[in-house]
């Protein structure tokens, strides 16, 4: 599975930890930036990661900024993206099972690295349940027009 990663300066250090763990676990990673702690704009990197997922180049994506909020909003502007802002492992699980989220956003200022790494593992290993949830996901996708 190929995973897109994107972050701003507030999420850089956490993104690097996640990237290293994903590579150690055998995932292919597309690092969409940023590449330092120098101040930058999260929409640029959230969009880049989202486009990699929406195009099919990557199966899933993880985006990180200080709160996780702004970068999730930016990612969700890309057609075909369902990016869930998650703060714990249960949210990471349920966004996959019930919402077929293809991206997850994490707030590096609120979520420590140990929890974030576990959230990513849960997000990547959890399947979409389908069933009644498929109807709801289709309704969300139809909003895009």
Measure the CA–CA gap between 30 and 46, rounded to whole angstroms: 13
Using the predicted structure, report yes or no on whether residue 33 has a pLDDT greater than 90. yes
Using the predicted structure, report yes or no on whether residue 109 has a pLDDT greater than 90. yes
Structural domains of the chain in order of their starting residue, each with its CATH number: 2-143 (3.40.1400.10)
Catalytic residues, by residue number, are: 65, 98
Mean pLDDT of the chain: 97
Query: pLDDT tens for residues 65-99?
Result: 999 999 999 999 999 999 999 999 999 999 999 99
pLDDT score, position 77: 97
User: Which residue blocks in the chain are alpha helix, DSSP H?
Assistant: 12-24, 42-54, 69-76, 89-97, 113-125, 132-143
Q: Which residue has the tokens 């890309």?
A: 78
Token code pair at residue 115: 């929890």
Please report how the helices 89-97 and 113-125 are oriented relative to each other, as an axis angle in degrees rounded to 10.
Answer: 20
Q: Which residue has the tokens 């349940």?
A: 129
pLDDT score, position 16: 98
| C-beta of residue 99 within 8 angstroms of C-beta of residue 133 | yes
The residues, ordered by sequence, that sit 6+ positions from 14 with a Cβ below 8 Å of its Cβ are 7, 64, 106, 108, 111, 113, 116
Using the predicted structure, report yes or no on whether residue 145 has a pLDDT greater than 90. no
């Amino acid at each position: 599975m190929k995973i897109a990663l994107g972050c701003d300066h507030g999420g850089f250090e956490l993104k690097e930890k996640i990237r290293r763990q994903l590579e150690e676990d055998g995932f292919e990673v597309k690092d969409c930036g940023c590449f330092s702690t120098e101040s930058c704009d999260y929409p640029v990197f959230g969009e880049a990661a989202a486009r990699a997922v929406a195009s099919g180049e990557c199966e899933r994506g993880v985006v990180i900024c200080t709160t996780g909020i702004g970068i999730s909003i930016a990612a969700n502007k890309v057609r075909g993206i369902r990016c869930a802002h998650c703060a714990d492992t249960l949210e990471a699980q349920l966004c996959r099972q019930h919402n077929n989220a293809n991206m997850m956003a994490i707030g590096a200022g609120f979520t420590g690295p140990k929890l974030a790494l576990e959230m990513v593992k849960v997000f990547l290993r959890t399947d979409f349940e389908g069933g009644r949830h498929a109807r709801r996901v289709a309704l969300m996708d139809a909003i895009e027009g």
